[in-house]
Chains A and B, each alone.
Chain A
Amino acid sequence: MWDHVKQALVDSTTRFLTRLANFLPGLAALIVALLLSAVLAWILAAIVRRILMSLHFDERLGSWGFSSLAEWSPMKSPTRLISRSIAALVILSGFLIGVAAFDFEWTYLFVQKIFAYIPDILAALLVLFVGNVLARFLGRSVLIGAVNLNLQYARFLSVGVKWIVIVLAFAMALEHLRIAPGIVELAFGILFGGIVLTLALSIGLSSKDLIAKSLERDVKKASTEPVEDPLRHL
């Protein structure tokens, strides 16, 4: 009886030590990979930052019409955003290399799945970025247009339009990431419809007289004088 217990203990210890011996190199490899990738990330980030700063990237980005990116960047510097993103990518790559060093079936599958998922993540990020830029642009357009039309609810309209686009972009990003697609679709439909209905009701009910007058004025203007001629102001 005791021999059996002893044998089982020895076997268990041997298995544990064997697995530990198998695991430790992988762990060491992970730590080394992480350390190396951190150093590499720091060097790459510094190089990229220096290159972009020497090119006056932040100012040029503003002149190319992407000034809104600065507001989303750390310390309002798109250069820092890009250099830190590159560093994060390098560290993530180092982590995946380290994880792949474990000679296990699940780590292999995990890394494979992560790599297969990367295009979806990038596409979702792109959708979010474009959606955000578009939302801000449209929100600003609506705000300026509504103020110039003397509409008192200009801000409300602008925020409504902005959030409609952001919600749309967010839903599209989640769709790309395949995260609960059914729920996202349903929730988006409800939310989008709700926002549109709210806007329509609030504007329609609170300012029906104003809109009627405005439409009447526009119809009159259209029949008599279609376009404001810039030459008359010179």
Chain B
Amino acid sequence: MAQEPIHPGSVSAPVPDSHPEQTGPPDESLVERARQGDLEAFDLLMQRHQERIYQVIYHMISHHEDARDLTQETFITAYHALERFRGDAAFGTWLYRIAVNKTLNFLEKKRPERSGPSLNDLDARAEHDPDLVALITEQTPRRDVSLAELRQKLNEAMMKLSEKHRLVVVMHEVQGMPHEEIARILDCSVGTVRSRLFYARQQLQAYLSDYL
């Protein structure tokens, strides 16, 4: 396995922002315009949400091409269903529901085929993240574990989780969403989200005990 260099003393770069600030018109007015066939408004909505939608799908299936296709399908479905969007929840929440449904359907059909992730596009700034550097240098000085190996083990452990547990881990731990928002997206109680999160962390802790 290729060893990636770690730079423990290097200056850290900011963590990628998972909640980009919203500029321009609010989602509601863009949705209204898109309902009337304004594709430019829908393009703005896509620009605003595409990264987070892509990420949740990607972290669930660990495959870039499939994640791109599913993101595309999510936006096309959303555009066709705009008339049914009543505005009870935020547009982003509604979009997440579509993405989650599509992802779960996809995983249901493709379950036995893909067991391993194809992770090949780690942001270069990861090497400089102080938390990760500390984690690796503190915990594994003798094991000589590399970032790539750690990443692979982490993804293997993630793929061992059931889909519903992986989903809450991705949304809460990776994307930083609050429990309440996850509960709205998954249409379940906050207690269920917390329970799944707790169980998933326990499972991951067990799988990754050598690296923690």
B is bound to A: no
